Chain A
């Protein structure tokens, strides 16, 4: 009976997840005429630098998100519950707005005549080149994906039993030791899902790099978009790039999961 209840979702998965994945794989290894070829996959290697840049920028953004989110959540977990929900709502608030709009707003903030440079101008500094740089792309990623790091972290950390921490103190751990030995291992599942939820969209984004990177800091997402909707129409190459990207993400996630204790392993 329980299995019967599961079947709609299984059908959904098969039709909208498994089949498209197979189609991506199929397109990646065929030419436009449908003949089998490995040229597409071979052609991906000339874009190695774009892959490297995407991984690099997404990794930086993920680390920054983690550094911002972790202390915030630690503090959040200790304060009054009613205040917690208010802060959480403020975290969620930007997400009510359209993603494009949020990124577009940064364009006007960071521009040469933007608000930030105008502020610097008051003190006789600048204007600095803020927009159309890799830094702006990372900023866009951090800003847009930070809630995805905070929420899973919060869910895990708020549930850590106070008595466990008390026990650690009773057994002679000072605060920093308690953190390293108790809180950090217990929060690992949250960290892992946070990293996954920030890193994966960050690595494949294209609109952030287009708007804040000025079109000259291409990421993999831009490259894929170009093959399907943009200036160079080649869906087979696009599929090949996507396939390689999926493999890379799979690899990185497996690697990360190794750090986790086996019983707490998070699914990707």
Chain B
């Protein structure tokens, strides 16, 4: 009887899996009419028979993976085109990527860090210079994104996306007037206590505090960093949770009202949920770039460069921009976008705004980085006002009590042994 039950259960599981798989395939068939350009077959087939695998390490939710059945699976397309297999993994913060590379536990061929992290990696000699002859599609990148401050001369990186940081909010909870007045200070507004999400990485979180206090986003001044940490500590009481990609679930499900995040992800979220809106505070914000790099220790540089070139194909870059919602630095891809998107203030703010109201992160000195990290840990680990300060004394008392009990037991035992 038992065996029969097990069998039935196993079959049920099997069929559910099989059915969902069939459904996936059905959806994949009705692929929307995406633009597909001719690819340079000769260039891409250079490594076709070498059975190469490249390790790509990217941000979470940062590439079309065909998961919703409507978009292309970019990595699969690449494999089909070139015969190079892609081993794709993701990270949530620049610091996590840095730690992974630094600890040397893994080797990657493609990484996509942000501006300041690229500077830091260049400084610490962690990146391979790119051979632009192998990346002919670099010409597709708009001129204003070539030769960026974080990588002078575009030696190590090819821009992948860019965007700004703003505040995602639940428009059902705000009147029109309130919504208009949302700025960084709203994240410190006691009325929204317990409904605020915050960045779970020090650089972005400190940047918001720096905006609040009117400091430069690249300040290395110890006093100023301390003041920012104080401000963040004050905010901690109001913050529901410190998150990164979890924001998709939490804001989508209406768990929180306010969350600072990257414009690109906000666009994706707003597409999906009507109750979410996004605002870029007028007072100023951070302008970021994410760019494709090859780290030192890459196993097949030629294949990695081929991957970068593939990402720079106009139609592929368009598919990326269309799917992840981040702004594209690719001229051809930009042309393919709907006019509505091109003129959107969130994805493509005008040059005047970018010029005067945004700052790009630069790599901080080691001392400033260390200080920021220490202050961040201190802020995160500081006790909530409400939780009791008695923990340590109580623990000590328990230890003493336990020792006493042991001593007394021993004493009694000895006495018993005497008799």
Which residues of A are in contact with B by a Cβ distance under 8 Å? 46-50, 52-53, 55-56, 107-108, 111-113, 129, 131-132, 134, 214-216, 218, 223, 226, 228-235, 255, 258-259
Contacts and interface: CB of A to CB of B under 8 A. Distances in A.
A216 B236 contact: yes
A144 B201 CA distance: 28
Interface in B354-394: 373-374, 376-378, 380-384, 387, 391-392, 394
Contact of B376 (A48, A53, A231, A255): A231
11 contacts: A111-B250, A112-B255, A215-B200, A216-B236, A216-B241, A226-B377, A233-B95, A234-B373, A235-B103, A258-B409, A259-B406
Contacts of A259: 405-406, 409
A232 B95 contact: yes
B392 A113 contact: no
B201 A113 contact: no
B231 to A, nearest CB: 16
A147 B202 CA distance: 37
B96 A230 contact: yes
A50 B373 contact: no
Considering residues B99, B254, B395, which has the most beta carbons from chain A within 10 angstroms of its beta carbon?
B99
B287 interface: no
B385 to A, nearest CB: 12
A230 B92 CA distance: 9
A225 B380 CA distance: 14
Contact of A52 (B103, B249, B391): B391
Given A223-B377, A259-B406, A231 B93 contact: yes
A134 B387 contact: yes
B241 A214 contact: yes
Nearest to A132: B241
Given A52-B392, A111-B253, A255-B403, A46 B378 contact: yes
Nearest to B242: A215
B316 interface: no
B226 interface: no
Contacts of B255: 111-113, 131
A231 B373 contact: yes
Contacts of B392: 48-49, 52
B391 A258 contact: no
A226 B202 CA distance: 11
B381 A223 contact: yes
A132 B197 CA distance: 11
Contact of B380 (A132, A218, A258): A218
B78 interface: no
A210 B194 CA distance: 17
B102 interface: yes
Interface residues of B, number: 45
Nearest to B384: A216
A6 to B, nearest CB: 31
B47 interface: no
B299 interface: no
Contacts of A231: 93, 95-96, 200-202, 373, 376
Contacts of B374: 232
Nearest to A211: B246
Nearest to B406: A258
A259 B100 CA distance: 44
Given A215-B241, A226-B377, 5 more contacts: A112-B256, A214-B240, A214-B243, A229-B100, A232-B376
A232 B377 contact: yes
A139 to B, nearest CB: 16
A52 B380 contact: no
B142 to A, nearest CB: 32
Contacts of B239: 214, 216
A108 B242 CA distance: 17
A46 B102 CA distance: 25
A196 B240 CA distance: 33
Contact of B381 (A132, A218, A228): A218
B406 A232 contact: no
B45 to A, nearest CB: 38
B173 interface: no
Interface in B71-108: 93, 95-96, 98-100, 102-103
Interface in B172-206: 194, 200-202
Given A113-B254, A231-B373, A215 B380 contact: yes
A48 B382 CA distance: 11
Contacts of B397: none
Given A52-B392, A52-B395, A111-B255, A233 B402 contact: no
Rank and list the top 8 A-B pairs by shortest CB-CB distance, nearest first: A214-B241, A215-B242, A232-B373, A231-B95, A233-B99, A258-B406, A218-B381, A52-B391
A216 B253 contact: no
B105 to A, nearest CB: 9
A233 B98 contact: yes
A192 B381 CA distance: 31
A229 to B, nearest CB: 5
Contacts of A46: 378
Considering residues A53, A55, A129, A216, which has the most beta carbons from chain B within 10 angstroms of its beta carbon?
A216
A229 B384 CA distance: 25
A56 B376 CA distance: 23
Interface in B13-43: none
Contacts of A258: 406, 409
Interface string B332-368: 0000000000000000000000000000000000000
A47 B383 CA distance: 11
